[in-house]
Structure 1
């Protein structure tokens, strides 16, 4: 068995470096493209692509028929999270990134374990694999969440301006679709491209209210939901849409001001909650990665798994309680 460790490590190093380099190159290229764009949809249209191709590239992601039921159920959720984060990578590339990071960490752990005398390579390798997956998956999850929060903050900062543009266009006599199209051309990403997709969907025959509902679900913004509901109610009951949007814009600016005050007052509690949520998993993953023998000797103990189960239940209960305490709604 020890004779197979070095060739296995070499193969894993080769595979992990290749996967990591491929995924990193795609991430760097997509980041450079994002920096060069102000409005992604307008840039793609200006490059000569057909509107149908632009819409398919920004919205539609068909799932191959050969995937399993589990992947068909979870892929749309991961795809929606990536879209809300503004990341131009597919769910398959995300899984590849997690696997490449886990492989690199696992190889490092195997090298450390093989140099330690008297260590069980098989048990230690399995436990270090769990730690590698926890660290790699948790890191990618935190990165996607941070990108999503930044993009959502930009969208909600730009959206009152978009409502002002739409309201002025309505007062000037433009129809609603033309007003939304004007805002889509005037505003940068992410609001400009998202409103442009609403115009595209309406042009392809979708009802305007349904296109706004898709816009709200696609962005995950509460302000977008308010906008979609306001337009839907106005289309059924009538009224001055320009005045409704003016009032909605004032409400959004007030909510943004309140949100900044709440974040400032609760910053210490949110930081403590983040530390309490991430630290146990992070320490467990690092311990499994750098010293798996500490747990390998205790896995066979009959009391190990009941204690581990109770600890997991207590951790999940505490995480839910902390989330409910710091999750302010306004």
Structure 2
């Protein structure tokens, strides 16, 4: 028992260190990949003839056109407030943090009093559980809002293209989208139209809305919109190209889903198998699992097993539901 207590906390600290380090590396790689994809899409959206591209590169030797546009227009801001706005949550970050902190405190007290786990382990589980649950809720809500936005965004782009080619101004075209579209699209363009009518600059309004919505396709349209107001160009053609790209990606996404049904079902079964096995064991022999909750070695193995299980399920789900379109 003494040896177990001696090595328990260092081993637990090492495990969590590698988990956090791996998560940080993963997030960094994902952001680099998103940045490359954004630049590639912007190059496709505002494609220029080769002569004009060479002339522009001769004027900007150290940066490509997409680098220059992305670094000078509509800076991307990320934080808890922006993530909550992208998830559709209208509460303040303070209340959000307080809610999940209360969940962590409740879990800490429950483990401490009911299972009689020591203070440090209970606190560590409470902090990890509250942090993970907050991240999971935000991720789920953000993905749902993004899917709802992208589902109707091509229709809004078609309205914008038809209005511009009919001779309407860009401000009137945005107002027409707000009048004809419902849901998240209608609210977003209504907010843009109202703020621009109040005298705010288009760049400030679109930068704020790009961070609020959190969809790269809308950010690219905003960049093209700002550049068109400053230098001229065909916004209708850019909207048509962007709508075609979004619809092509959606078709590809549905095709990939239909071809990977077996893989995703296998991942789902593997993720549910440990919980199903524990449930069957508990029903058949309720006292068989008691040592995991009543002894120090059992608690140690339970924590290690839970961490490894959560890591494995996360890897399986990320491999099965990876979105690279």
Label 1:297 to 1:265 Cα distance change in 2 as closer, same or farther (>3 A): closer
Correspondent of 1:234 among 199, 224, 228: 228
Kindly indicate whether residue 72 of structure 2 is the aligned counterpart of residue 78 of structure 1: no
237-246 vs 173-182, greater mean Cα deviation: 237-246
Report the alpha carbon displacement of residue 208 of structure 1 after superposing the two structures with TM.
1.8
Label 1:80 to 1:229 Cα distance change in 2 as closer, same or farther (>3 A): same
Distance 1:105 1:147 in 2: 23
Give me the TM-score of the superposition, normalised by structure 1.
0.56
In the TM superposition, 1:40-79 aligns within 5 A as 77-79=79-81
Report the alpha carbon displacement of residue 293 of structure 1 after superposing the two structures with TM.
5.8
Equivalent residue, structure 2, for 1:161 = 155
Label 1:77 to 1:110 Cα distance change in 2 as closer, same or farther (>3 A): same
Label 1:236 to 1:273 Cα distance change in 2 as closer, same or farther (>3 A): farther
Correspondent of 2:176 among 182, 207, 226: 182
Kindly indicate whether residue 239 of structure 2 is the aligned counterpart of residue 245 of structure 1: yes
> Number of matched residues?
228
1:52-95 CA distance string (max 9 Å, x none): xxxxxxxxxxxxxxxxxxxxxxx961111111010122211111
1:274-297 CA distance string (max 9 Å, x none): 9999999xxxxxx9xx84963799
Two-structure CA RMSD over aligned residues (Å): 3.9
The answer on whether the counterparts of 2:104 and 2:126 sit within 8 Å (CA) in structure 1 is yes
List gaps (5 residues or longer) in structure 1: 1-74, 114-120, 281-286, 299-307
Distance 1:236 1:76 in 2: 26
Report the alpha carbon displacement of residue 322 of structure 1 after superposing the two structures with TM.
9.0
In the TM superposition, 1:9-20 aligns within 5 A as none
Kindly indicate whether residue 252 of structure 2 is the aligned counterpart of residue 261 of structure 1: no
1:82-126 CA distance string (max 9 Å, x none): 11010122211111111221232233223323xxxxxxx6x6133
Distance 1:134 1:108 in 2: 15
Distance 2:163 2:206 in 1: 18
Label 1:99 to 1:171 Cα distance change in 2 as closer, same or farther (>3 A): same
Distance 2:102 2:85 in 1: 22
In the TM superposition, 1:1-330 aligns within 5 A as 77-113=79-115, 124-266=118-260, 291=293, 294=296, 327-330=322-325
Give me the TM-score of the superposition, normalised by structure 2.
0.57
The answer on whether the counterparts of 1:98 and 1:140 sit within 8 Å (CA) in structure 2 is yes
259-268 vs 99-108, greater mean Cα deviation: 259-268
Label 1:203 to 1:125 Cα distance change in 2 as closer, same or farther (>3 A): same
Label 1:77 to 1:239 Cα distance change in 2 as closer, same or farther (>3 A): closer
Q: Whose RCO is larger (CA < 8 A, sep 6+)?
A: 1
List gaps (5 residues or longer) in structure 2: 1-76, 275-288
Distance 1:268 1:213 in 2: 41
Label 1:241 to 1:178 Cα distance change in 2 as closer, same or farther (>3 A): same
